[in-house]
Amino acid sequence: MTGPEKVVLVGVGIKGRLWEMDSSLAELRRLAETAGAQIVAEHSQAVDRFNPATLLGSGKIEQIALSASAHKAKSVIFDMELSPSQQKNLEGVIKAKVLDRTRLILDIFAQRARTNEGRLQVELAQLSYMLPRLTGSWRSYSQQVGGIGTRGPGERKLEYERRHIQNRILRLQKELRKVKSGRDLRRQGRLAVPVPQIALIGYTNVGKSTLLNRLTAQSVRGHKTEAVYADDKLFATLDATARRVRLPEGTWAVATDTVGFIQRLPTTLVAAFRSTLEEARLADCLLLVADANAPSRESQDQAVDRIVAELGAKDLPQERIYNKADLLDAAARRDLQALHPGALLVSATTGEGLDAALTRVQELISTRWLLRELDLPSHDRRRVASVYRCAQVLSERHVGTKTRLRLRVTRENLERLRVLSA
């Protein structure tokens, strides 16, 4: 039985921004461990500018090659996205597989994909990444077979010429359009039901799935509900998962857990998962989940904000909550609250702060979901039933010959209800 694959990590940065390189290399380390690798050596270098041929200087590349050979490493992973020519040149010196950050993330996504849609999206991203690396005379795929965990498209697909890969991409895009059509129908059905939509957005491994499970458990006490898969790993879940959550005033909302983000998330993955991430753009509000205990918390928040903006969702009502507050000591709590006055600290593990977070969500969605009262004739139960179909009724009581309904309703449906009560 063979052990985990031995790898060498290489951090690269620009002089004067060493903290960025260190933070990114720490994240690369976690990515490699998530992929199941054994890290046997690490190298890093800050440069004035990147070498267009090999990213780093020849002396450093020789040092990395010797290190990989001495440790019998099968892969060398660079914490940058390498161009096809850079990858080819590096493999001419380093006698091991040369992977970049993008390829490593793609391998992890391949390991994590559980649904048919997730597998299609990952394969599309893998082949889109691979296609430009099949140009010119670079036809030797021997070092490109698989990746960490050997979950890449595999040797069989890599034997195809460019035309076959392009045809496969077209087929995948066609299949994904069918899947998207089905999901759009389900989404339209969900939107037709009078329930506010909340999207949980955040960096990978900040505890979104655990948080959703906790909120669901609080909402349906005494009833069994399928838990969302959660694990202390990067990209533990890739597929958007929706669950009902009860708000403090007694109404319901649908909270959707989305794929986690990361620094320099590959553009091929953002494109492939865009339809899934659109859950955020169509929500009534965003709950931005952050890791209160993360050393690079601020840079993670910035990465999330950038992708939210790319999705066209930055103007939606939103609140950032800091999860894993149970791991903070008193001094760390004071520091975070000083940096972010009024920050909501929560813990999906202990339940701390979740009621306050839901109260805030309720405030956010009230900009679209209005609190109103409506009087209808008590004898006309058909009209009353119509209200229940397009609004969330908080209470119903009889006042003389009228039935008075207190409800949450969207602005669009409010006009319809006014016609009913006229």
Which residue range(s) make up the domain with 402? 369-421
Q: Round to whole Å and give the CA distance between 254 and 210.
A: 16
DSSP strand E in 101-153: where? none
Window from 344-348, 352-356, 385-389 with minimum mean pLDDT: 385-389
17-31, 32-46, 325-339, range with the lowest pLDDT: 17-31
- Of 191 and 206, the structure prediction assigns the larger pLDDT to 206
> How many whole angstroms separate alpha carbon 351 and alpha carbon 150?
39
Residues 198 and 290 in one domain: yes
Q: Does the predicted model carry a pTM greater than 0.85?
A: no
Using pLDDT thresholds of 50, 70 and 90, give the confidence band for residue 334.
very high
pLDDT at 229 over 80: no
One domain, residues 228 and 312: yes
Question: Which residues are within 8 A (CB) of 269 and not within 5 positions of it... i.e. 6 or more apart?
Answer: 105, 106, 109, 121, 125
pLDDT exceeds 70 at position 148? no
409 and 299 in one domain? no
User: Residue 33, class by beta-carbon neighbours within 10 Å (0-12 exposed, 13-18 middle, 19+ buried)?
Assistant: middle
Is the predicted pLDDT of residue 228 greater than 60, yes or no? no
Is 280 within the bounds of a domain?
Answer: yes
**Residue 259 placed within a domain:** yes
Same domain, 330 and 393: no
Indicate whether 108 and 229 sit together in one domain.
no
Question: Structure tokens of 110?
Answer: 């391949």
Query: Could you tell me if residue 136 is inside a domain?
Result: no
Q: What's the domain count of the chain? A: 3
Is 324 within 8 Å of 205 (Cβ atoms)?
no
Q: Which of 152-161, 282-291, 298-307 is predicted with the least confidence, judged by mean pLDDT? A: 152-161
Instruction: Give the DSSP letter string of 248-304.
Output: TTS-EEEEEE-PPB-TT--HHHHHHTHHHHHHHHTSSEEEEEEETT-TTHHHHHHHH
Q: Please state the rounded mean pLDDT for residues 10-17.
A: 87
pLDDT at 375 over 70: yes
CA 72/CA 77 separation, integer angstroms: 14
Cβ–Cβ < 8 Å for 299, 257: no
86 and 223 belong to one structural domain: no
**Per the domain annotation, does 185 fall within a domain?**
no
Residue at a domain's end among 66, 87, 114: 114
- Whether 181 is in a domain gets the answer no
Sheet arrangement for strand 97-100: 38-47, 6-14, 75-78, 97-100
Residue 224 confidence (pLDDT) above 60 = no
Q: 345: exposed, middle or buried (C-beta count within 10 Å: 0-12, 13-18, 19+)?
A: buried
* CATH number of the domain enclosing 340: 3.40.50.300
Tell me if 103 is assigned to some domain.
Answer: yes
202 and 340 housed in the same domain: yes
Quick one: what percent of the chain has pLDDT higher than 90?
Answer: 29
Cα 261 to the center of its chain, rounded Å: 4
- pLDDT at residue 140 above 50? no
Question: Phi/psi of residue 316, each to 5°?
Answer: -70, 150
Final residue of a structural domain among 114, 147, 168: 114
Question: What length does the chain have?
Answer: 422
Poorest-confidence range of 140-149, 167-176, 309-318?
A: 140-149
Same structural domain for residues 331 and 380?
no
- Kindly state the percentage of the chain with pLDDT values over 70: 82
Instruction: Name the pLDDT band for 129 (thresholds 50, 70, 90).
Output: confident
pLDDT tens digits, 161-192 = 678 888 999 999 999 888 878 777 766 665 66
Token digits of residue 50: 């990147």
Residue 157 has what pLDDT? 46
- Same domain membership, residue 340 and residue 386: no
Mean pLDDT of 86-92: 91
User: Does 359 share its domain with 375?
Assistant: no
Q: Tell whether 258 is covered by a domain.
A: yes
Tokens of 52: 């267009």
Domain presence at residue 44: yes
72-76, 357-361, 376-380, range with the lowest pLDDT: 376-380
CA-to-CA distance for 212 and 207, rounded, in angstroms?
Answer: 9
- Distance, CA of 273 to CA of 278 (rounded, Å): 9
CA distance 261 to 275: 15
Residues 350 and 213 in one domain: yes
Distance of CA 330 to the CA centre of its chain: 30
| Residue where a domain terminates, one of 323, 341, 365 | 365
CA dist., res. 160 & res. 77, Å (int)? 25
> Is 409 in the same domain as 328?
no
